[in-house]
Amino acid sequence: MKNTKKVLLATIAAGSMLALAACSGGSGGEGGEGGGGLIGVAMPTKSSERWIQDGDAVKEQLEEQGFKVDLQYAEDDIPTQVSQIENMITKGAEALIIASIDGTTLSEVLQSAADSDIPVIAYDRLIRDSENVDYYASFDNFVVGQQQAWSLTNGLGLTDLEGNPAEGAPAGPFNIELFAGSPDDNNATFFWNGAMDVLEPLIEDGTLVVKSGQTDFEQAAILRWDGEVAQSRMEDLLTADYSDGSQVDAVLSPYDGLSRGIISALTDAGYAVGAEWPIISGQDAELDSVKAINSGEQFATIFKDTRKLAEVAVNMAAAILNDEEVEVNNETDYDNGVKVVPSYLLESQIVVKDNITEVLVDSGYWTEEEING
């Protein structure tokens, strides 16, 4: 993959930066004279497994660097997240790492942070409409969307997992329905645009048919990434557009939690895993969804290694506090409405049944027992 070398080099660079920071007695480095400052870490919700993994990984890695950590979850409630961040500022946090719920609602509290010279790192989700966002740590979210679409075209026999046309591909047409993420999450548009970059030409040439006609982001979006809302939208689509005996062949789902809702709707409507079962995408490699891939209910997920993302964000915080150069690899794509936020983007991987062990078990993300237990 094209960026692997860059990522590797940057990781090494970031690693040596931290080693340097540790020796230089900077604000947070291990053995630093400051004894390690406090870093505030704001996460959106514990209702999704990935954010628990993120929070744990960020906390652990910050503590390894000698920092103290105030880690808070806001259960997807915006005022709660705002007041948690206010508290972090009051407690004297030296830096903030924030995965926002709604990317547009933090401007005021970030102004308070800026007034106290507290640097802010947007974690995974870009914080919009504020100049007080110093860095952004994330994945290449457009590519994540493309990967979700390629997993569908691969499952349908049209392409390989990198989107290259398959030999002897079936002509279709295949019925597909489309889901998008939460409209207040900047990532949701990136995932959608990436996926539609792949799917739109196939819809236009008739290989794919969206029977519901719902092909706009606004129609497909699921507020707060809520699986139950996805389930009821899928139920509505099945009733309205597939009661004539036709079948859904594929469902674009941008997140495992939505995929599980979609799977429930299909099961309730009488679909059973087998030849007629649709190809369904996902994201996050959540344990229940990895199990669902094993059992054939879900075709694929996108693995974004939260440990690596945590490492990038922790390195950014340490570098800022130690007056070191912060490693970024993208200074063009993430305009938050006020400025382009310097970003470090990691690579994601498609997980299908065949590579679960290689990608998830061998990397230590899940154990064989957790997946099969």
Which of 94, 124, 184, 305 is close enough to bind ligand BGC by CB under 6 A?
124
Three-class DSSP category at 99? coil
Tell me the closest approach of the beta carbon of residue 34 to ligand BGC, in angstroms: 33
CB within 8 A of 25, min separation 6: which ones? 31, 32, 33, 34
Contact, 161 vs 198, CB < 8 A?
A: no
Alpha helices in 41-122 (DSSP H): 49-64, 78-90, 107-115
- Matching residue, tokens 């199990």: 291
Name which of 28 and 194 has its Cβ closer to ligand BGC.
194
Name which of 29 and 254 has its Cβ closer to ligand BGC.
254
Per-residue tokens: 50: 């990935």
Q: According to the binding rule CB under 6 A, does residue 125 interact with ligand BGC?
A: yes
Name which of 185 and 347 has its Cβ closer to ligand BGC.
185
Tell me the closest approach of the beta carbon of residue 196 to ligand BGC, in angstroms: 17
Tell me the closest approach of the beta carbon of residue 188 to ligand BGC, in angstroms: 7
Tell me the closest approach of the beta carbon of residue 345 to ligand BGC, in angstroms: 12
Which of 67, 174, 255, 334 is close enough to bind ligand BGC by CB under 6 A?
255
**Residue 71-100 contact track with ligand BGC, rule CB under 6 A, x = bound:** ------------------------------
Name which of 142 and 271 has its Cβ closer to ligand BGC.
142
Sign of CA dihedral 183, 187, 189, 191: negative
Per-residue tokens: 339: 């400025």
Q: According to the binding rule CB under 6 A, does residue 53 interact with ligand BGC?
A: no
d(CA 167, CA 157): 9
Q: According to the binding rule CB under 6 A, does residue 184 interact with ligand BGC?
A: no
User: For the chain, what is the total number of helices (H) and then of strands (E)?
Assistant: 13, 12
- Matching residue, tokens 């369904």: 280
d(CA 205, CA 173): 10
| Contact set with ligand BGC (CB under 6 A) | 48, 50, 124-125, 181, 185, 187, 225, 255, 283-284, 304
